[in-house]
């Protein structure tokens, strides 16, 4: 019998997205069991939950068997390194959490008859030949390139999720997350927002790769988590893009950060990393129609909160 208070398990709960998801679930009346092994997560992201009677933390590597007593209604699988620096440094762990970790999290959902959501990524589109990217685009991914360990781990995670849905009737959801930013990002995680903001706050040169014409679209974390929550609560079991369709070049983004931080930084150009996608922009038609979701937070608002957070870290 399901308990009246919904119980959610969040893997990767001490990570950037996992911790924000945990906060949202607690605010909506869920009891949350958070799991993390702190490979890339940080205890700082969940410190504020100490003493919260609705939050329990389990330090665990989710590639190993997950045993929990009592009912579980929702499993949110967010455990994974998610930045280029991580997956270049720990490629095998990245692949294991996407494959074995997804398998264990799905096993938990199957056993508990819980609904399951996997945090997939826009990286499954690789360096896309279609623009903007819709959910039915199969991607352009190098299996053997430096990003292959992350891209293929997430592609496998999606395939395994659909296999559990078809073979075991697990109620599954797949979210494809596009570039997201906000407080609790790691300063040195190699992603563009922490890199540009920390360089700007210390008046160091801002490093733009290539000519700076490659594009990204940035979604503020609270918008993203709201979209993911709506997807879990929907009846849609095929992938849904969640991200902000407002596209910017890296050069425009660097300029915006210099202005927002009132920095004296100058822009310097470095060679483009291997397999770096030239364009990234979500088509969010599905999210708009099925979830009635679209981003609400402007880049100016979101960057204000993010810069304030990074000021405490640099």
Instruction: Give catalytic residues, as residue numbers.
Output: 150
C-alpha span between 198 and 219 (Å, rounded): 19
**Distance in angstroms between the alpha carbons of the first and the last residue of the chain:** 49
Give Cα 168 to chain centroid, integer Å. 26
Contacts 24+ apart (CB under 8 A), 269-272: 269/207, 269/208, 269/209, 269/210, 269/211, 269/212, 270/207, 270/208, 270/209, 271/209, 271/210, 272/209, 272/210, 272/214
Question: Which residues are within 8 A (CB) of 45 and not within 5 positions of it... i.e. 6 or more apart?
Answer: 14, 15, 16, 18, 19, 184
Return phi, psi of residue 10, to 5°.
Answer: -115, 115
For strands 247-249 and 215-217, give the pairing.
antiparallel
- Burial class of residue 29 in the structure, from the number of CB atoms within 10 Å of its CB (0-12 exposed, 13-18 middle, 19+ buried): exposed
């Amino acid at each position: 019998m399901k308990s009246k208070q919904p119980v959610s398990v969040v893997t990767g709960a001490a990570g950037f997205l996992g911790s924000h998801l945990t906060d949202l679930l607690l605010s909506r009346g869920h009891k949350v069991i958070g799991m993390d092994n702190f490979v890339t997560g940080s205890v700082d992201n969940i410190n504020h939950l100490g003493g919260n009677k609705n939050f329990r933390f389990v330090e665990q590597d989710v590639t190993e068997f997950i045993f929990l007593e009592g009912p579980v209604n929702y499993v949110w699988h967010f455990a994974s390194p998610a930045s280029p620096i991580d997956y270049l440094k720990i490629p095998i762990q990245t692949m294991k959490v996407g494959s074995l970790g997804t398998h264990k999290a799905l096993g938990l959902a199957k056993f508990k008859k819980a609904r399951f959501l996997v945090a997939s990524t826009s990286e499954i589109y690789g360096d896309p030949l279609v623009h903007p990217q819709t959910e039915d685009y199969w991607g352009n991914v190098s299996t053997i390139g430096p990003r292959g360990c992350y891209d293929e781990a997430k592609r496998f995670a999606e395939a395994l999720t659909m296999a559990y849905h078809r073979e075991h009737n697990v109620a599954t959801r797949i979210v494809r997350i596009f570039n997201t930013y906000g407080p609790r990002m790691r300063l040195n995680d190699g992603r563009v927002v922490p890199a540009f903001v920390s360089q700007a706050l210390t008046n160091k040169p801002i490093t733009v790769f290539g000519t700076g014409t490659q594009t990204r679209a940035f979604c503020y974390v609270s918008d993203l988590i709201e979209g993911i929550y709506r997807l879990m609560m929907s009846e849609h079991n095929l992938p849904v893009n969640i991200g902000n369709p407002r596209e910017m070049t890296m050069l425009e983004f660097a300029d915006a950060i210099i202005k927002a931080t009132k920095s004296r930084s100058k822009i310097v150009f470095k060679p483009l990393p291997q397999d770096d996608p030239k364009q990234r922009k979500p088509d969010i038609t599905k999210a708009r129609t099925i979830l009635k979701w679209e981003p609400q937070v402007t880049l100016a608002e979101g960057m204000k909160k993010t810069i304030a957070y990074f000021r405490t870290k640099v």
